[in-house]
């Protein structure tokens, strides 16, 4: 690494862990990322390295075998993973998000059963919200869970599920009371095991970017789960539980944006000092100096906003405003920086021999994932109004 990007992290233990992950990324990830990505191959060897470092248990409490580290540390780790290959930070996202939901809202039985399995991990996690007719408006879901004695019978379809084929447990959002008003009071979260009868994993979507990670559809056809599968043991709290967990997801996606932008900038500033045009390295042309300076400022701002949101979450404070601001800025910034890096590289950036085109294809996912930029603006505006009452 050209400089110590972990220097912005306050906690010395977290700083050391993030630095170690950065060294691993430079040595093990960057040399092979494009090969895995172009083949759209799941990176099992890289996941083993992440597991060996304990990253899947980074937010699992120590009593269940996890590291129980800060969100600030988690954000720094995700920045470094995305600097190597954005898909790696995506693989870990839903795992940590679901683990957080179980840790915060699960029953003792659910915590004791699932959390130790998530550390190694013996099983991985997936989050299932989006449906064919419900995306940004999550309360519009049509998947239902009907009580039948000691069980619930689930029917519906989910889409765009990361880790959809490989997960061992799925955090599912379903309606237990379709007539409830407001709608969120009729939504319940369930922990659905992969081998549940009536639950099937559908096709894998072929995507523009975000390769190596399967994104799938799921179907529930009279899938029967016990009442003990209700997250927290009570109906009607699923929307709040999952929205809280999505704050963790937005910190992850913001971190991914920062990491991808940093990778693009690193490549661009090195290339600008080597490539010559009109008899001098292109870095000596004022237009490129201005472009690189603007890129560096945007990345620095995105990093600090993201770490600030993570620290707010660490403090136990409500962080939807901060996470929304970080996610909005960092992801839009990543797309801008990726394109600017391509401008600096010129025609060679369009070749698959360099990772620039991968950055450019990966960046759009993050302005959509965990709530689109437009949704983030709405979340931000609604919270701002609360802070400025008339």
CA 135/CA 305 separation, integer angstroms = 26
Q: How far apart are CA 343 and CA 321, in angstroms?
A: 33
Phi/psi for 151 (5° steps) reads -120, 170
Instruction: Dump the DSSP string for 148-192.
Output: ETTEEEEEEEEEEEETTTT-SEEEEEEES-TT-SSGGGGEEEEEE
Which of 215, 211, 259 is CA-nearest to residue 37? 211
The whole-angstrom separation of Cα 1 and Cα 19 is 9
Burial (CB < 10 A; 0-12, 13-18, 19+), residue 296, is middle
Catalytic residues, by residue number, are 370
How buried is 7 (Cβ within 10 angstroms: 0-12 exposed, 13-18 middle, 19+ buried)? exposed
H or E element, residue 145: strand 144-148
Is-cis flag, bond preceding 7, omega within 30? no
What percent of the chain is helix, strand and coil (3-state, nearest 5)?
60, 15, 25
Distance CA 197, CA 60 (A): 29
């Amino acid at each position: 690494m050209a400089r110590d990007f972990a220097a912005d992290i306050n906690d010395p233990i977290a700083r050391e862990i993030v630095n170690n992950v950065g060294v691993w990324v430079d040595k093990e990830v960057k040399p092979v990322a494009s090969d895995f990505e172009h083949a759209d191959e799941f990176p099992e060897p890289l996941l083993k390295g992440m597991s060996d470092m304990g990253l899947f248990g980074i937010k699992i409490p120590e009593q269940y075998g996890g590291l129980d580290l800060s969100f600030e540390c988690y954000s720094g780790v995700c920045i470094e993973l995305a600097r190597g290959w954005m898909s790696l930070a995506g693989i870990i996202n839903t795992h940590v998000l679901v683990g957080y939901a179980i840790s915060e809202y699960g029953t003792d039985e659910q915590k004791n059963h699932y959390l130790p399995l998530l550390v190694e991990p013996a099983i991985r996690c997936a989050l299932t919200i989006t449906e064919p007719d419900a995306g940004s408006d999550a309360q519009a879901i049509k998947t239902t869970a009907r009580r039948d004695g000691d069980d619930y019978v689930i029917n519906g379809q989910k889409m765009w599920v990361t880790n959809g084929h490989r997960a061992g447990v799925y955090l599912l959002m379903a309606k237990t009371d379709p007539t409830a008003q407001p709608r969120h009071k009729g939504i319940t979260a369930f922990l659905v095991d992969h081998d549940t009868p009536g639950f099937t994993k559908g096709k894998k979507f072929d995507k523009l970017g975000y390769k190596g990670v399967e994104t799938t559809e799921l179907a529930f056809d009279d899938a029967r789960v016990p009442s003990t599968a209700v997250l927290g043991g009570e109906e009607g709290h699923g929307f709040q539980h999952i929205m809280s967990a999505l704050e963790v997801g937005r910190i992850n996606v913001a971190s991914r944006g920062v990491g991808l932008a940093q990778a693009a900038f690193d490549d661009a500033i090195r290339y600008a000092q080597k490539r010559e045009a009109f008899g001098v390295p292109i870095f000596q042309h004022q237009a490129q100096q201005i472009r690189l300076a603007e890129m560096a400022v945007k990345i620095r701002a995105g990093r600090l906003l993201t770490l600030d949101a993570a620290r707010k979450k660490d403090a136990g404070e409500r962080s939807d405003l901060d996470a929304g601001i970080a996610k909005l800025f960092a992801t839009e910034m990543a797309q801008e920086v990726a394109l600017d890096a391509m401008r600096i590289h010129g025609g060679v950036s369009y070749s698959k021999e360099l990772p620039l085109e991968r950055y450019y294809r990966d960046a759009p996912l993050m302005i959509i994932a965990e709530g689109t930029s437009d949704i983030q603006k709405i979340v931000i505006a609604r919270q701002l109004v609360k802070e400025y009452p008339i």
